[in-house]
Amino acid sequence: MNNSKKLNLLLTNDDGISAPGLQILAEALKKVANVYVLAPASNRSAVSSHIVMHESLTFKRFAENEWSCSGYPADCVISALRSNLFNNVEFDAVLSGINKGPNMGTDCIYSGTVAAARQAVLYGLPGIAVSLKAESGEYAQDGYEYGALAEFVKNNLERLISLYEPDCIVSVNAKSQEKYNSAFLTSLCTRDYKDKIEFEEIEEGLLKSTLLSGVLTTTGPELLNEYEAVESGNIAITRICAEPVDFEPALNRKIDFVF
């Protein structure tokens, strides 16, 4: 980490460059760091680590040191860290968010917000994902007050970065509130949205589908998990492996199959 001068931060998200969560976080962090923004031109929620491989991306200047990208959150991180778009700035960390909606437990598999932080970690940089749950409901249309969480990230920037280790994504979740009193290092939860697909026939041989969510259930270990912390009005900080983890250690044992 660069301690002799202001940190150089790359900001991105999956809600799009105009999203208030991103812009409010950027304004807060500009008070303590050099902030560079490269974010999707439009909403790219739930795209996970999707990257564009076989076509060109387009980039548009949004403001000073701010660009939008036609690709996905992981594309934004790759493009910023593997090009001279920002005149070869050496970044100290990548922050993704503030996302409109939580990213806890199972959500992290699908989240473009977390995927951007993961891409940073895969490149050897601290990656911090920041997500906000609406005051009521999981994914409300409104009820998001980003200011307090942005201030928390600004005031604790170096502490959050210090939680990074190789292969470790730092995921921050909170409920929309005007202030917070406590933050906890938490364990992951498990979330089941009771998804269901409904088909509608457009014409003979042609269907369209709609993804419907049922009643969300969230479970976790006995130790304080992120969902419990957030529901109690606290900030939850969870450290997640960026690389896939073996289900069991390599045992170097032969398995009998039919050949």
In whole angstroms, how far apart are CA 51 and each of 47, 79, 248?
9, 11, 29
Q: What is the pLDDT of residue 115?
A: 98
Q: State pLDDT tens for residues 39-74.
A: 999 999 999 999 999 999 999 999 999 999 999 999
Confidence category of residue 249, pLDDT binned at 50, 70, 90: confident
Cα–Cα nearest to 17, from 70, 86, 94 = 70
What is the pTM assigned to this prediction?
0.92
The answer on pLDDT for 144 being more than 60 is: yes
State how far the Cα of 144 lies from the Cα of 127, in Å rounded to an integer. 23
- Residue 213 neighbours by CB distance under 10 Å: 12
State how far the Cα of 140 lies from the Cα of 144, in Å rounded to an integer. 8
State how far the Cα of 211 lies from the Cα of 100, in Å rounded to an integer. 20
* 3-state secondary structure (DSSP) of residue 253: coil
Q: State pLDDT tens for residues 211-222.
A: 988 777 888 776
